[in-house]
Structure formats: structure tokens, C-alpha cells
Amino acid sequence: MTHTEFQRRRTFAIISHPDAGKTTLTEKLLLYGGAIHAAGAVKSRKAKRSAVSDWMALEKQRGISVTTSVLQFEYDDVRWNLLDTPGHNDFSEDTYRTLMAADCAIMILDAARGVEPQTRKLFHVCRLRNTPVVTFINKMDRPARDAFALMSEVEEVLGVSTVPFTWPIGSGDLFQGVYDRMNEVVNRFERSAEGQAKRAQVRVAGIDDAELETLLGEEAAQTLRDEVELLDGAGEKWDTARFLDGEITPVFFGSALTNFGVEPFLHSFKDLCPPPGERTASGAITVRPGDDRFSAFVFKVQANMDPAHRDRIAFARICSGKFEGGMRVHHYRLGKTVRLNRAEQFFAQERESVMEAYAGDIVGLYDPGLFRIGDTLSTDGPMSFDAVPRFSPEHFGRLQLLDPLKRKQLQKGILELSEEGTVQLFTEPGREKDPVCGVVGRLQFDVLTFRLEHEYGAKVTFDLLPYQHARWVDGAASCEELRARRIPMAVLDRDNRVVALFRDEWELGRAQRDNESWTFHETAPIVAAA
């Protein structure tokens, strides 16, 4: 029987530069989606609990997201799978892996800052996969740049066309709400006594309504009419096909902190965000979400989400068929059948057991050590999705254990955290007890130090190494062969592949010129099969 439940699924990620308001918008989407009834509180059978997607102790301490959170809720007969990604550039690799599991992305821009460096990088990742992107321009209740200038910057810097679905009525202290162009109504928001914690109050009027001057003021009403007339006459026309190909982005304006513009955004996003689509597996196999065959891939592994039980959860995106608790599936990398005994779905740290799920859903699989990022699981025999690439680290440090009696705890911790993707682990022949850790951003060293101490009881420090580039080398048989060719440092990755480390571009270029028979790869696909 063909499964149709996937048509109710919407799986999306939220991306932004740090401090653009991503976590705040996430919470407000949950508020309007009914998953929480006041900002900061969730519905719980036991008690009200914090509704933050930043659940890790270090995240609360630093006030930043350092790992992807999965938040699942029902709204308007749709099952939403929200992937809240780290905004900080130092954790961009986790964001990239998460975007592979999403069918759509919400890009948040700060109305005063526009397109920022991390926004460009994350948008580029979406572009590589032709992921549809919906833009929310946030913080309109603060001094903001001209709305037309913001749209022009998005088009020029990101190379994507823009179509405003809503249009701001003023900004800063003069911000009064938004005009919904698609439904031709003015949404004027009024601050309530409860402030930002409850749903914003809304009064609605058409743009030609004679009461508009009374509602907004004469000057604001005329400005709105003039700007909308300009948009209607000279603006880009909406094209759904171009949006789904990642060529055009709908733009919404608002303020997540004060709830302005969030509800009309969510109403429109339900129709914009596509249901799960087709994916391609190795051998040019087309996998359709309604296929009877179950298939999924692991895009994230997280240890110690429940500190009391020290568990490991593998987050899997279902691509086709139906998941059933206790089902047996083929594990492509291990080349054997495994049983999926326990599965859970999440609301940040909140979790509940699940016995069935469909294409588009994210399930957390209890992991006794079987799963790695990039693993493909399927029924009806072997199948593999494209491997998730491993990025070249840009910072390296040799790990030093401060208490020699904690060697066992360190080995367990560093292995589990490397399997999460928190760090890439390398060993130098002859110095196996002092592994080399590679990270994309320096802040990851702080996360690693914190988690090794607080989750595994192993205090460590790092001796920073002067290397900036790692290249996986095809054609070289051993680290000794690399060192004989004047490679500054040669190490092995966790799959025993030879990796060369370089201090700068000049050293890398020299190695490439001197060793033309070798191929230097900037990314290494995660091993698909053992």
C-alpha cells in the first residue's frame, strides 16, 4: 500500500547569522503553532518546562546555539519537523549536515544589518542542494534599513530574486505592523499588557479601506499605498516553480521578539514549505516518499542528551515508506541487518516513544554504537544515499589529559564526540595516546573541553598546532610516504585514511606541485560501506 501520510509532513531548518533572532523566532513559531502556550513554557504532562531549543548546559551558559535541536509539533493538520541549527560560524558543519535533512529553510536577516557573512555561507549551502529558502526580515521594531534596500541587497549578494509577501508599515518606534500582499489586508499589531509573552493582538483593514488613515495615521497610510503600488507595478512576480528550485525567495517582515508579523508568516509558510520530495540513492535509484520501501539516513548523532542515562541518539531523516518500532532494516555501511528497537521523537530535550513515522519525519534511534553520520538504513536489501561530506578542519590541537587516571573516560568521550561530528579525530603514528583534534571553528575546542569534563569526567587541555588545512590524499600509501615528500605533518583519520596537514596555502600549493600523482581532497566522504 502506498503511504500518503508524508503529504502532511513539513521538514525545515532555520538558518541565520548569530544574533539575528533565530532562537526567538523558533520559540514564536512554536507559540503560534500551539506547541507552547506562552513564550518560555511548553505543554507537559508533568509540569511547565523551559521551551528553549538550546538545551545543552554550555548553550545556556554562553547564550548561543552550538548543536542542532529537533522540535516537532502539530499545527493546522500538518506535522512539523523543525531543525534549529547553530548560527555561529564555528558550528557550520553541523548546520550543513542538518540542511541535508531539510526540505526547506527559513533564512532570518537582521533588518539593521541585512545580509551578513554567515548568512552568505549558509545560503550557499542551500543553493548547492537547490533547497527552497523563505526569508524573514526580523527586528523591524528597532531602527532598520529601508525595506527596498534590504531586498536589493538580498538579490545582489545572494543572487536570488525576491518577492515580498508582507510589507512593513514603518520601522523602529514607528513600526505598526505589516501589509499582507497575498491576501490584501493590513495587519496592525497592538501591544498587549502581557508584552511579548502572548499572541499579538491584530486589527485588520484592506489597503483601500477609508479607515486606514484612522488606523495608521495619514502619512503612514499614504506611504504604504505608494510603496505597495510600486511593488505591484515593478516588483518580481511570484513563481512557485522557481521558488522550489531555489531561484526566488518570498520575503516577510516582522519582529519575533514582539510577535509582530509572525502569525501571517506561519500561515503562508504552511503552503510554501514543500512536503517531502524525491531523493537519489547510489546507482541512480530514485527514492519517492510514498514508496513502500522504508529508507532513512543518519544526519546527526548526539550523546548524553539525557545526563541521567548517558544515552546516545542517532537522528535519522526518513526518506520513504513507514517506520515501525522493532522493524529490521539493512545497515549499508555495516553490511548487515539491524533491529530498530527504540525510537523517539523530540521537542528539544523533551521526548516520547514513537512506534510509527513517515517520510519527512525525524526519528531519534537509540544507538548502542551502531550508527555514524551518513549511514543509510533501508528495507528490501542494500541501498545508500550520497555520503555526508566531512569538511577540512581549519584549527588543530593535540589533546592533553590532565589526570592520567581518566584515560578510559577520555577515550570513551573523544570517540563518542567524534562520532557526533563535534570534532574530527586524527592519530599520528607513534603518538596514538595523544590524538590530534581538528575543528572548523575555534569555539568547538571550548565545547569539546566543556563536554569532556562535564559529561565524561575527563579534564583536558589543547596544545594548539600551527596548521590551517587538512587534505585527504589519494595515491599515498602511508604517513611515512608523506613525510618523505616534505609534507609538514601526516596523520590518519578514524577510517585509517592518510591526511596531510599544512600551515598555509603556500605549503599546500607546493605539495600539490611536487606530487602531481597524488590527489588532495578538501572533503572526505563518510565511508559508505565497511
In percent, how much of the chain has pLDDT > 70?
Answer: 84
Q: Are residues 374 and 428 in the same domain?
A: no
d(CA 244, CA 132): 5
* pLDDT of 199 higher than 60: no
DSSP 415-452: HHHHHHTSSEEEB-TT-TTS-EEEESSTHHHHHHHHHH
Looking at residue 525, its pLDDT comes to: 52
Give residues with Cβ within 8 angstroms of 18, minimum separation 6: 64, 87, 88, 89, 118
Q: Supply the CATH number for residue 227's domain.
A: 3.40.50.300
> Do the domain assignments include residue 455?
yes
Instruction: Tell me, yes or no, whether 472 and 367 share the same domain.
Output: no
Q: Specify if 356 maps to a domain.
A: yes
Q: Which of 38-47, 110-119, 268-277 has the lowest mean pLDDT?
A: 38-47
Q: Which residue has the higher pLDDT, 180 or 495?
A: 180
Residues 402 and 293 in one domain: no
> Given a cut of 70, is residue 197 above it in pLDDT?
no
The counts of H helices and E strands in the chain are 13, 33
Q: Which residue is listed with cell 502572548? A: 198
Q: Do 226 and 346 reside in the same domain of the chain? A: no
Backbone angles phi, psi at 77, to 5 degrees: 65, 25
- pTM as predicted: 0.77
Q: Which of 231-245, 313-327, 370-384, 411-425 has the lowest mean pLDDT?
A: 411-425
Residue 71: pLDDT band with limits 50, 70, 90: confident
**What rounded mean pLDDT belongs to the chain?**
84
**231 and 130 share one domain:** yes
Tens of pLDDT, residues 72-89 = 888 888 899 988 765 445
| 305 and 400 belong to one structural domain | no
Give the pLDDT score at 132.
97
Using left for φ > 0, alpha for ψ between -120 and 50, and beta otherwise, residue 343 falls in: beta
Among 347, 378, 409, the domain-final residue is 378
pLDDT at 59: 44
Residue 78 belongs to some domain of the structure: no
Q: Which amino acid is at 337?
A: T
491 against 440, higher pLDDT: 491
The candidate with the shortest Cα–Cα distance to 169, out of 233, 238, 215, 113, is 215
Q: In which band, very low, low, confident or very high, does the pLDDT at 513 lie, cut at 50, 70 and 90?
A: very high
Q: What is the pLDDT of residue 220?
A: 92
Average of per-residue pLDDT across 364-381? 90
CA-CA distance, 38 to 31, in Å (whole number)? Answer: 6
Domain closes at, from 220, 251, 272: 272
Mean local confidence (pLDDT), 188-209:
69
Residue 48 above 60 pLDDT?
A: no
What pLDDT score does 4 carry?
A: 82
**Distances from the Cα of 313 to the Cα of 70, 253, 377, angstroms:** 12, 37, 15
User: Phi-psi bin for 483: left (phi > 0), alpha (psi -120 to 50), beta?
Assistant: alpha
- 248 and 183 together in one domain: yes
- Structural domains in the chain (count): 3
* pLDDT of 210 over the 50 cut: yes
Instruction: With a cut of 90, say whether residue 339 has pLDDT above it.
Output: yes
In degrees rounded to 5, what are phi and psi of residue 400? -120, 125
Highest mean pLDDT among 99-103, 121-125, 188-192, 325-329: 325-329
If you count them, how many residues does the chain have?
A: 530
**Average pLDDT rounded to a whole number, residues 509-519:** 93
φ, ψ at 34 (rounded to 5°): 85, 0
Judged against a pLDDT cut of 50, whether residue 2 lies above it is answered with: no
Residue 419 is predicted with a pLDDT of: 76
Residue carrying the nine cell digits 541512480 = 284
Task: Among 8-12, 21-25, 94-98, name the one with the lowest average pLDDT.
Answer: 94-98
CATH code at position 337: 2.40.30.10
> What's the average model confidence in pLDDT over 107-136?
88
The answer on 355 and 328 residing in a single domain is: yes
Please indicate, yes or no, whether residues 257 and 329 belong to a single structural domain of this protein.
no
Domain that holds residue 121: 8-69+84-272
Q: Which letter, b or e, does each residue of 383-393 get, where b requires 16 or more Cβ atoms within 10 Å of its Cβ?
A: bbbebbbbbbb
Please check whether residue 530 lies inside any domain of the structure: no
Q: Kindly state whether residues 55 and 140 are assigned to the same domain.
A: yes
Range from 163-167, 281-285, 408-412 carrying the lowest mean pLDDT? 281-285
Torsion 240-246-250-256 (CA) sign: positive
Predicted confidence band of residue 471 (pLDDT cuts 50, 70, 90): very high
Same domain, 359 and 393: no
Written as nine digits, the cell of 113 is: 544589518
pLDDT band at 134 (very low <50, low <70, confident <90, very high): very high
Per-residue pLDDT, averaged over 226-234, amounts to: 92
Considering the domain boundaries, does residue 384 fall inside one?
Answer: no
Residue 1 lies in a domain: no
Contact assessment for residue 3 and residue 290, using Cβ atoms and an 8 Å cutoff: yes
Q: What pLDDT, on a 0 to 100 scale, did the predictor assign at position 272?
A: 96
End-of-domain residue from the set 356, 378, 400:
378
Looking at residues 18-39, what average pLDDT do you find?
A: 75
Q: Is the pLDDT of residue 92 over 60?
A: no
| Mean pLDDT calculated for residue range 432-450 | 85
The CATH number that applies at residue 463 is 3.30.70.3280
